[in-house]
Chain A
Amino acid sequence: MRHLALHRGAAGSMDGGSPTGPDRQNKPRILLVDDYPGLVMAFSRVLAPFFDIVGHVADGAEVVSAVSRLRPDVVLLDVNLPEVGGLECCRRVKAMRPATTVIMLTAVDDEAVRDRALTLGASAFVAKHSAVDELVSTIQRALTP
């Protein structure tokens, strides 16, 4: 069974542990794109101490408008999205707003997908089963000029 109903297509702010006030302004802004709400919530919780989670999107077709509206520094993008896939989303985001850092998240670390993602402008490619420390450091490295 798929659990998409809660967040599909919605781009909203996360309040699960996300800091508020002046702190937020100093943290890189992250947009999460994944169609599994449980994973979005878990990522939001563990990334909140380091980044400002500005929103989440479950539907690939909504990614470009969410990027345009929320102006994140980083889009954390699942490869395997239904309908409009993650790689196509990456291409669209980079075409519209090249300065946005795109980091692909994948359940299967596949060389062909990795190569394709990097060709399309993704800055990094992280397996979803990576440890949180690795995910955080990958994002930080990708943001380092």
Chain B
Amino acid sequence: MLTGLLSGLLSGLLTGLLSRLASGLSVGRAGLLFCALWAALWSPAAWAFDLKELGALLGQQRNAEARFTEERFVSGLDQPLRSSGTLSFTAPDRFARQTLEPRAESMLVEGNNVTLKRGGRTRQMTLDAVPEATALLEALRGTLSGDLALLQKSYQTRLLGNATRWRLTLTPLAQRLGTQVKQLEIEGQGPNLKSVEVQLAGGDRSVMTIEPLASTGTPR
């Protein structure tokens, strides 16, 4: 009981005030997390034309790795922002994104825990404290596992093209996520995911091109 009073109440209070404070600031943890998870979405796994079919295929895949290059188009900046690095996924719930250029950064999601490393600093946080991030995670899990129901809980899905060349469009259903992300567009060739484009609510957008390592066997 006494333990509770101290450790629980005190840290509970701090947690509450701090998370409120952090979110009260215009630069929120939601944003940081978003960045992290949304990056994790570009998991290397191949996306098939039929989500269920693809799900069955991907269900056997326990690990995957890929390289990515990303271009972000931000209004008010003279040039697009470029970055590159690696992505990895380990079933069932571990995602990592390592940005190597232009600055070393990393993001790791394990279960409900998120670890961010930027500029030599490490931060840990809770995933489900930010429902938008959870929605992105569920989209990822839903897609990778071919769980259409899970995917459709948070997004309106639209699949165009054919099995050799396809495009999946995800539009957030939840209003909160919708205020941040307008649309996700995922393009693939056969089982390979080729690019992911994210259109943000403010008009900025990013395009990430993915080269699977594990599935192509390309040495790195």
Is A bound to B? no
